[in-house]
Structure 1
Amino acid sequence: MINAKDYLETGFNFHGHRCPAMPLGMRSGAAAMNTLGVERSVDKELYLIVETADDHAAGCFVDGLMTITGCTYGKSNIEKTYYGKMAFTLIDTVKQKAVRAHLKPEFFANMLKSPFVEQRKIGVLPQNIPSEVSEPLINKILNLPEEDFLIISPVFDYHFEKKKGIFDTELCEECGERTFINRMQEVDGKKLCKSCAERIFKQ
């Protein structure tokens, strides 16, 4: 069984500040992993589809998901849909199984009324919020029963097609920078990286 508390300090060190949303992501990710019966992703055994966006409160949730699942942008086994929902799908790419999880609507609505969020609304940076405000909320998140905050679907079949890694590169004939071949584009007979190709098209 995956326990979020075992990864808590790693998560806060990675995330950069102490807040309730990051451990909430860890708890949610751990619950999804335990439902699927999987371990933390070493390579690409897991794939995570996160439905959050980039312009709303509690985005820190995703750093908790990444910490606990091992799904990272560096390994290319995470993507964001930008739906603006506190929800995600975790896929076991080996067994081709998945679960979808989301925060309970009433729980999340109440979370957005917390003293921590009230401080954020008036512009206080998360790292400057007093520990007497943040720590009780963090401890509450760490000890809440899963059924109080999370809805997880039954395990379902999920066809996941693994992509082969690209190892070959070429030099862009415009900027001279080495680029992986699957991202090269041909423009007027020249092989260009995407950024050079886009710049030429805009001219």
Structure 2
Amino acid sequence: MNTNKAEKAPFSRPDPMGQRAPTLEELKMNPREGFQRALKQHDLESLLIKAAEIHGHFCPGIALGVLAAANGLVKMGLESKCVDGVMEDLLAIVEINACFADGIQAVSGCTFGNNGLVFRDLGHTAVTFVSRGSKTGLRIRVNPEFKALVEKSAPQFYPLMEKVIVQRKGTDRELKDFKAEGRKAAFGLIKEDCNKIFAFETVEPRLPDHAPISPLVICPKCGETVLAVKTKTGPDGSKMCLTCAGEEFRQVDGRGIVKQKSAFLNN
């Protein structure tokens, strides 16, 4: 056995341009190597497949997010930039918490966890890309006409969506058909002219500060560590977590950003 031979990464796909797939060592040095290669080669199919790895399925929303991110990064000249989120240099400001957002996160590398993704609860299928230090950014919004493009490649997608997702009354067969239509719609959209799907505009976005570094403290009631900025100071000066203090908090779910009073039913 040749121990000097580079080990091939699991589940890696051959590069469509005939180049080899990234090795494990290359991915250890740059985990986004696969995304970067696909971006440089404008390989939207590979980007869509990789985005679906985290999203879980194919649908028009994930395809729109992939297209918006890929075109946005290219228009900003950032397709070759390694966005790893360490310094929060690039921000993606999304205006909807739906499938679209996963496509943005996957392709851009701006995620909820690395503070590169900013969520504004506005309900628009839109994203703004901006580099810190720049006064202007690129806002990309989806044109309403995109639905006609979906219906062209997957005519049963919206009728099945109404029954399976909206009404929650679909059969197992209809669920299977819905997934198949979503797949056809997604791969159909990435073949369309992006100018038919999106409107691009230069904007001056209001940016958040860099994420603050908050120390961890121990809640005296539950004994768990908690960010100091997410505590309630008691009369004795102790810092209690919001759950133990019975304080209201905010959460992101399918409704957007909503207020909650209790995290558990048995509280």
TM (norm. structure 1) is 0.81
| 1:52-111 Cα shifts (integer Å, max 9, x gaps) | 25xxxxx21111111111111111222322222111211212545311110112224764
Deviation of 1:119 (Å): 0.7
What is residue 177 of structure 1 aligned with on the other side?
Answer: 224
Q: Which of residues 119, 122, 129 is equivalent to 1:80? A: 119
Contact 2:93–2:127, Cα closer than 8 Å, also in 1: yes
Secondary structure of the corresponding residue to residue 122 of structure 1? helix
Q: Taking CA–CA contacts closer than 8 Å with sequence separation of 6 or more, which of the two structures ends up with the larger relative contact order?
A: 1
Look up the match of 2:138. Answer: 99
Which residue of the partner structure matches residue 27 of structure 1? 67
Corresponding residue number in structure 2 for 1:41? 83
Q: Which amino acid in the other structure matches residue 172 of structure 1?
A: C
**Cα root mean square deviation, aligned:** 2.9
Q: Unpaired segments of 5 or more residues in structure 1?
A: 54-58
The 1:133/1:170 distance shift into structure 2, 3 A limit, reads closer
Counterpart of 2:108 in structure 1 is 69
Asked whether the 8 Å contact 2:222–2:244 carries over to 1, the reply is yes
Amino acid at match of 1:52: I
Residue segments in structure 2 that go unaligned for 5+ positions in a row: 1-38, 165-169, 249-260, 262-266
Aligned partner letter, 1:175: C
Structure 2: which amino acid aligns with 1:191?
K
Q: How many matched pairs? A: 196
| Cα contact 1:22–1:61 (8 A) shared by 2 | yes
Say yes or no: does 1:152 pair with 2:168: no
- Does residue 191 (structure 1) correspond to residue 244 (structure 2)? The answer is no
Check the 8 A contact 2:96/2:123 in 1, yes or no. yes
Are the equivalent residues in 1 in contact too, given 2:140–2:198 (CA < 8 A)? yes
Within the alignment, does 1:52 sit opposite 2:96 as a pair? Answer: yes
- Runs of 4 or more, structure 1, over 6 Å off, are none
CA distance in 2, matches of 1:177, 1:92: 36
Q: Is the 8 A contact 2:126 2:139 kept in 1?
A: yes
> Equivalent pairs: percent with the same residue?
21
Moved more, 88-97 or 169-178: 88-97
User: For the Cα contact (< 8 Å) 2:59–2:182, is it kept in 1?
Assistant: yes
Structure 2 partner of 1:56: none
Q: Distance in 2 between matches of 1:187 and 1:21?
A: 45
SS in 2 for 1:62: helix
- Corresponding position of 2:160: 119
Secondary structure of the structure 1 residue equivalent to 2:124: coil
Query: Does the CA contact (< 8 Å) of 1:28 and 1:101 recur in 2?
Result: yes
Q: Match of 2:92, as an amino acid?
A: L
SS in 2 for 1:25: helix
**Conserved? CA contact 1:90–1:99, under 8 Å:** yes
| Aligned residue among 165, 176, 187 for 1:128 | 176
Secondary structure at the counterpart of residue 103 of structure 2: helix
For 1:7, the equivalent position in structure 2 comes to 47
TM-score (norm 2): 0.63
Largest Rg, 1 or 2: 2
